Amino acid sequence: MTSKNTAANDATKPRILIFDTTMRDGEQSPGASMTLNEKLELATLLESMGVDIIEAGFPAASEGDFAAVSAIAAQSKSAVICGLSRSTPNDIDRCGEAVRKAARPRIHTFISTSPVHMKHKLKMGPNAVLEAVGRSVSQARNLVDDVEWSAEDATRTEFDFLCKCIDTAIASGATTINVPDTVGYSHPDEYGALIRRLIENIPNSDKVIWSAHCHNDLGLAVANSLAGMANGVRQIECTINGLGERAGNAALEEIVMAMKVRGDTLPYETHIDTSYLARASAMVSRITGFPVQYNKAIVGKNAFAHESGIHQDGMLKNSETYEIMKPEDVGVAKTSLVMGKLSGRNAFRDKLESMGYFIEGDALNDAFKRFKDLADRKKHVFDDDIIALVDEQLAAEGERIAFKRLRVVAGTEGPQTAEIDLVIDGEEKYSIARGNGPVDAVFNAIRQLVPHQAILELYQVHAVTGGTDAQATVSVRLNGDDIMATGRSSDPDTLVASAKAYLHALNKFEVRKAKRKAA
Ligand SMILES: CC(=O)SCCNC(=O)CCNC(=O)[C@H](O)C(C)(C)COP(=O)(O)OP(=O)(O)OC[C@H]1O[C@@H](n2cnc3c(N)ncnc32)[C@H](O)[C@@H]1OP(=O)(O)O
Ligand SMILES: CC(C)C(=O)C(=O)O
Ligand SMILES: [Mg+2]
């Protein structure tokens, strides 16, 4: 693993263990279940990325989950492989059996400790829960050396009782103590204070690793995890893309990048190679079918995209103006300056140059104006749209007959009629004509203003880019008196593109005819 992309590479900083639970808590999102092969593929990537602990599933849940955890354990090399189990003997046995083949197996067992969970869900009193903690952790410790114990709903648990449970878990052999904010109820100051208070009050707190497991019901999962870290947590439980029960878990990519970008105030080290983050996000999205929201931190489509002119200008001058991390650090190829109606001239010029067009002065201003007009009418302006627009402008220079305005009556009510205004040799001319369809009407109106012998040999329409607001590119070929001329034009309105393409060809036709006459 390279060190240059790790969250930090200063060995003097406290090490934070990254515990990925995408395949356990993440899989608990309705609709996110994964097949054995998908889990194996993801586990391979997580291990290459440097995840310390992979929670691969809940072995007692089904034969399929048991098989997936077993297979991941068998193929694992460096990561700790863990399964989750209730405090019941059968769950713990199944879990121990599933992780057995891992180079570094862990059993993670839990029970609820909050009054509401104990009373209504478990229907157990505190003493019975306390007894279950001791029994379950001891049983797990007889199977493996690495046992994590979680107090489900810890943040709504009465403090003294939580201390008793944790004390019992440590005394029974737990090596990691996890403090879940199961329902995403806590906020950073409160969660940080809880961790600090637990570590200060529990006699053997220094014998275990403290872990945070935060849910995102109030959008605070990452903030709470970081607050836990500042107060002594050294393992963070998180998921790729923040997948997980309800609103999800803390997002792995956000936790890791927060440490990497803000090493000044979050002085911790992880072994995650951050250049894998985009790939991991895409893989989880593909496997689960859950799209990543466009503005998702770190891995969203827009995380390194800029459309507004002032930001684009800043980015062209120095990327630090609007980006706090480099796209390649998270595995994104490069920043994108997206062209749209808010883009400015500097970004437009840069885009043209990147496509091989070097235009300046009036030509650039004209092209920019036409681009803005197009962007006002069209949601996404693609590179091909800009190429079509500039090509058309270049072709239009020096033309005798210029397009001015078009109005067309089409549809079933007819008659299909076109009214057109052209500027011919500097003089504005108008005509109206009917046709067998709107395109025919447009061409007839042009023929009335510029009578000619050429016949229309070819008329083709195709969309430059996708979507119902795509630009249409129309190609036409005129042929007459052994002179052939082709024309091409693009516009979101197919009829306007047709008129312009016809005129493009007609201009060439007329020039060639005049040249032949003069010769
Ligand atoms: C906060 C979390 O993320 S917790 C983890 C959630 N994950 C899962 O639930 C994994 C998938 N679950 C399953 O496949 C099933 O629920 C199983 C196999 C675990 C249990 O299935 P069933 O035996 O049919 O029980 P069911 O799901 O209906 O109810 C859960 C039972 O477990 C009990 N229980 C819940 N948590 C625990 C615990 N930590 N320790 C002991 N018992 C528990 C409940 O009180 C309930 O008991 P009851 O049947 O006596 O009322
Ligand atoms: C089982 C535990 C760790 C959990 O997922 C939670 O409490 O949210
Ligand atoms: Mg959870």
DSSP string, 57-104: E-GGG-HHHHHHHHHHHHH-SSSEEEEEE-SSHHHHHHHHHHHTTSSS
CA 95 to ligand 1 centroid distance, Å? 14
Same domain, 194 and 235: yes
Per-residue pLDDT, 396? 64
What Å distances lie between residue 361 and 245, 358, 393, 395, CA to CA?
57, 11, 14, 17
Q: Which of 22-31, 268-277, 356-365, 387-396 has the lowest mean pLDDT?
A: 387-396
Question: From CA 475, how far away is CA 486, in angstroms rounded?
Answer: 7
Task: List residues forming the annotated binding site for Mn(2+).
Answer: 25, 213, 215, 249
User: Torsion-angle region of residue 356: left (phi > 0), alpha (psi -120 to 50) or beta?
Assistant: left
Q: What are the backbone dihedrals phi and psi of residue 169, each rounded to the nearest 5 degrees, phi first?
A: -60, -45
Domain boundary among 358, 376, 393: 393
Residue 295 domain flag: no
Ligand 2: residue whose CA is nearest its atom 2 = 152
Same domain, 387 and 404: no
* CA 369 distance to own-chain centroid: 32
* pLDDT surpassing 60 at residue 303: yes
Residue whose CB lies within 8 A of the most ligand 2 atoms, among 152, 177, 237, for a mutation test: 152
* pLDDT surpassing 90 at residue 173: yes
The answer for residues whose C-beta is within 8 angstroms of residue 318's C-beta and 6 or more apart is none
Which atom of ligand 2 is found nearest the CA of 154? 7
Ligand 2: residue whose CA is nearest its atom 8 = 182
Same domain, 83 and 230: yes
Check pocket membership of 121 for ligand 1, CB cut-off 6 A: yes
Ligand 1: residue whose CA is nearest its atom 17 = 61
Q: H or E element: which one contains 446?
A: helix 438-449
Per-residue pLDDT, 14? 95
> What single DSSP character describes residue 186?
-
Q: Which of 62-66, 406-410, 509-513 has the lowest mean pLDDT?
A: 509-513
CA 336 to ligand 1 centroid distance, Å? 47
Q: Give residue 135's pLDDT band: very low, low, confident or very high (50, 70, 90).
A: very high
The answer for residues whose C-beta is within 8 angstroms of residue 295's C-beta and 6 or more apart is 302, 303
Question: From CA 427, how far away is CA 308, in angstroms rounded?
Answer: 39
Which atom of ligand 2 is found nearest the CA of 21? 5
Q: H or E element: which one contains 494?
A: helix 494-518
> Which strand ranges, in their side-by-side order, compose the sheet holding 472-480?
455-463, 472-480, 483-491
* CA 72 distance to own-chain centroid: 27
* pLDDT surpassing 90 at residue 391: no
Same domain, 124 and 147: yes
The answer for residues whose C-beta is within 8 angstroms of residue 336's C-beta and 6 or more apart is 304, 305, 306
Residue 204 domain flag: yes
Question: From CA 371, how far away is CA 342, in angstroms rounded?
Answer: 11
Domain boundary among 393, 424, 454: 393
Q: Which of 264-273, 289-298, 310-319, 482-491 has the lowest mean pLDDT?
A: 482-491
Check pocket membership of 152 for ligand 1, CB cut-off 6 A: yes
Same domain, 318 and 279: no
Tell me if 54 sits within 8 A of 26, measured CB to CB.
no
136-166 pLDDT per residue, tens: 999 999 999 999 999 999 999 999 999 999 9
* pLDDT surpassing 90 at residue 358: no
Q: Give residue 264's pLDDT band: very low, low, confident or very high (50, 70, 90).
A: very high
48-91 pLDDT per residue, tens: 999 999 999 999 999 999 999 999 999 999 999 999 999 999 99
* pLDDT surpassing 50 at residue 289: yes
Q: What are the backbone dihedrals phi and psi of residue 496, each rounded to the nearest 5 degrees, phi first?
A: -65, -45
CA 62 to ligand 1 centroid distance, Å? 12
Question: From CA 292, how far away is CA 296, in angstroms rounded?
Answer: 7
Q: Relative to the alpha carbon of 131, which ligand is closest? A: 1
Same domain, 344 and 425: no
Ligand 2: residue whose CA is nearest its atom 5 = 25
* pLDDT surpassing 70 at residue 290: yes
The position carrying tokens 């806590």 is 186
Same domain, 492 and 433: yes
Q: Give residue 169's pLDDT band: very low, low, confident or very high (50, 70, 90).
A: very high
Sign of the Cα torsion 371, 376, 377, 378 reads positive
Check pocket membership of 110 for ligand 1, CB cut-off 6 A: yes
Residue 56 domain flag: yes
Span 437-452, average pLDDT: 96
CA 166 to ligand 2 centroid distance, Å? 15
463-493 pLDDT per residue, tens: 877 777 778 889 888 988 877 777 888 898 9
Residue 3 domain flag: no
Residue 56 sits in a domain of what CATH number?
3.20.20.70
* pLDDT surpassing 80 at residue 359: yes
Q: Which of 113-127, 142-156, 324-338, 390-404 has the lowest mean pLDDT?
A: 390-404
CA 150 to ligand 3 centroid distance, Å? 10
Residue 1 domain flag: no
Same domain, 119 and 248: yes
Percent of the chain topping pLDDT 90: 81
* pLDDT surpassing 60 at residue 1: no
Tokens of 291: 């799209």
Tokens of 165: 């449970």
* CA 253 distance to own-chain centroid: 12
DSSP string, 150-182: EEETGGGS-HHHHHHHHHHHHHTT-SEEEEEET
Per-residue pLDDT, 398? 58
Paired with 215 in beta bridges are: 249
Residue 202 domain flag: yes
Q: Relative to the alpha carbon of 87, which ligand is closest? A: 1
Per-residue pLDDT, 7? 52
* pLDDT surpassing 60 at residue 329: yes
* pLDDT surpassing 80 at residue 392: no
Per-residue pLDDT, 519? 66
Q: Give residue 39's pLDDT band: very low, low, confident or very high (50, 70, 90).
A: very high
Number of domains into which the chain is organized: 3
* pLDDT surpassing 90 at residue 354: no
Q: Which of 156-160, 355-359, 495-499 has the lowest mean pLDDT?
A: 355-359
CB atoms closer than 10 angstroms to residue 139: 22
CA 21 to ligand 2 centroid distance, Å? 10
Per-residue pLDDT, 334? 93
Domain hosting 369: range is 305-393
Residue 324 domain flag: yes
ipTM over 0.85: yes
Same domain, 172 and 199: yes
pTM here is 0.81
Pairing of strands 483-491, 472-480: antiparallel
Span 209-237, average pLDDT: 98
What Å distances lie between residue 423 and 365, 396, 428, 431, 454, CA to CA?
22, 13, 4, 12, 20
Tokens of 222: 């990452």
Which atom of ligand 1 is found nearest the CA of 60? 18
Which atom of ligand 1 is found nearest the CA of 153? 1
| 3-class SS of residue 472 | strand
Per-residue pLDDT, 486? 78
Domain boundary among 360, 393, 426: 393
Residue 458 sits in a domain of what CATH number?
3.30.160.270
CA 273 to ligand 2 centroid distance, Å? 26
Residue whose CB lies within 8 A of the most ligand 2 atoms, among 86, 178, 181, 225, for a mutation test: 178
Check pocket membership of 88 for ligand 1, CB cut-off 6 A: yes
Same domain, 448 and 508: yes
CA 487 to ligand 1 centroid distance, Å? 71
> What single DSSP character describes residue 22?
T
Same domain, 454 and 506: yes
Is the peptide bond between 105 and the residue preceding it cis, with omega within 30 degrees of 0? no
The position carrying tokens 């430059």 is 464
Q: What average pLDDT is seen over the chain?
A: 93
Q: Relative to the alpha carbon of 19, which ligand is closest? A: 2
Same domain, 247 and 279: yes
Residue 296 domain flag: no
Check pocket membership of 182 for ligand 1, CB cut-off 6 A: yes
What Å distances lie between residue 271 and 26, 247, 268, 392, CA to CA?
22, 27, 10, 53
Q: Which of 102-106, 402-406, 475-479 has the lowest mean pLDDT?
A: 475-479
Q: Relative to the alpha carbon of 60, which ligand is closest? A: 1
Q: Give residue 11's pLDDT band: very low, low, confident or very high (50, 70, 90).
A: low
Ligand 1: residue whose CA is nearest its atom 46 = 122
Paired with 482 in beta bridges are: none
Per-residue pLDDT, 4? 44
Question: From CA 143, how far away is CA 141, in angstroms rounded?
Answer: 5
